[in-house]
A and B are shown apart, each in its own frame.
Chain A
């Protein structure tokens, strides 16, 4: 009897370990070459200076190379803005963005972004990347755009407190809604 009980216990323990291991593996799936980053952080000085002036310096790993090429080729009408850069600046930006694009990156979220992106799609807005769009699909656009703290889905760091570190972990999302919660109490 004891032997059977021991073997049952052993099986249960193994099962438990297996399940725990799988859960841990899912967590670890988001471990990256740089601990605490799930996408390569934007680090290029020219990029941060020129592109990070009007909007957050989007980590290049958020979009594939072909998307960045469209952006760089389209500076004359950049979402309604006419941008003028020296040829060297353009060349420098193009090189950085292409070399660090999602399809060139081993960082976990870039890998996921490419997995969920059809070859015939070339998103030009980060929010049009299918993986990213799906992650935000529960957020009403109207409410977000009217929120004075956010204003736009391009304003990643209004909610994602560690964009600069290349981290988009759910736990790091700031509370941007000052509306009362369901119980009617004011939230801080």
Chain B
């Protein structure tokens, strides 16, 4: 009986644990794998975060941290409008990575802004691994 109870608790625990942002991220990662990404790495994601690219509009060098800062638990600031941006880290912001549509929307918009192109499935996967650990 005890073993069954233990297994039941474990099963429930795992299900609950997969809910929220972690579950959504997992689903996204699966879709990126299907699109050709593999061995997603938070280290690579972290490196991408501060990699400079030229902003064609201003001519300045920008990277993800320009708006979101290097501390994902901190509030960021839009580099043109000055608008505060809520923290990226799921540990600091319960809203993050709970809506797959939003994840895709902001990847598209912000990769285009910083890299002047869309991010590949590999890059998105690496970045999600980086975010998830924050």
> Which positions in A face B, CB cutoff 8 Å?
53-56, 80-84, 149-152, 154-155, 158
Contact A55 B83 (CB under 8 A): yes
Q: Write the residues of chain B forming the contact surface with A, with a CB cutoff of 8 angstroms.
A: 57, 77-78, 80-83, 108-109, 112-113
- B109 to chain A: which residues have CB within 8 Å? 81-84
Q: Are B81 and A151 in contact (CB under 8 A)?
A: yes
Q: Which residues of A contact B80 (CB under 8 A)?
A: 151-152, 154
| Closest-CB distance, B61 to chain A (whole angstroms) | 16
For the complex formed, measure the closest distance between the CB of A109 and the CB atoms of chain B, giving whole angstroms.
22
| Chain A residues closer than 8 Å to B81, beta-carbon distance | 54-56, 151-152, 154-155
- Chain A nearest CB from B15 CB (Å) reads 30
Interface residue SS majority, chain A: loop
B108 pairs with A155, CB closer than 8 A:
no
Given contacts A80-B57, A81-B113, contact A152 B82 (CB under 8 A): yes
Residues of A within 8 A of B83 (CB): 53-56, 155
The minimal Cβ–Cβ distance linking A85 to chain B, given in whole angstroms, is: 9
25 residue pairs A–B, Cβ–Cβ below 8 Å: A53-B83, A54-B78, A54-B81, A54-B83, A55-B81, A55-B83, A56-B81, A81-B109, A81-B113, A83-B109, A84-B108, A84-B109, A149-B82, A150-B82, A151-B77, A151-B80, A151-B81, A151-B82, A152-B80, A152-B81, A152-B82, A154-B81, A154-B82, A155-B81, A155-B83
Among A54, A55, A82, max chain B CB count under 10 A is at: A54
| Inter-chain contacts of B57 with A (CB < 8 A) | 80
User: Once the chains are docked, how many angstroms separate the CA of A150 from the CA of B108?
Assistant: 27
- Please give, as numbers and ranges, the residues of chain A lying within 8 Å of B78 by CB-CB distance: 54-55
Contact between chains at B82 and A155 (CB < 8 Å):
yes
* Smallest Cβ-Cβ distance to B67: which chain A residue: A54
Provide the bound-state CA to CA distance between A152 and B77, in Å.
12
Shortest distance in angstroms between A158's beta carbon and chain B's nearest beta carbon?
6
B77 nearest in chain A by CB position:
A151
Minimum CB–CB distance for B83 against chain A, Å: 5
Tell me the minimal C-beta distance from B105 to chain A in angstroms: 8
**In the bound complex, CA of A152 to CA of B112 (Å):** 22
> Which A residues lie within 8 Å of B108 (CB)?
84
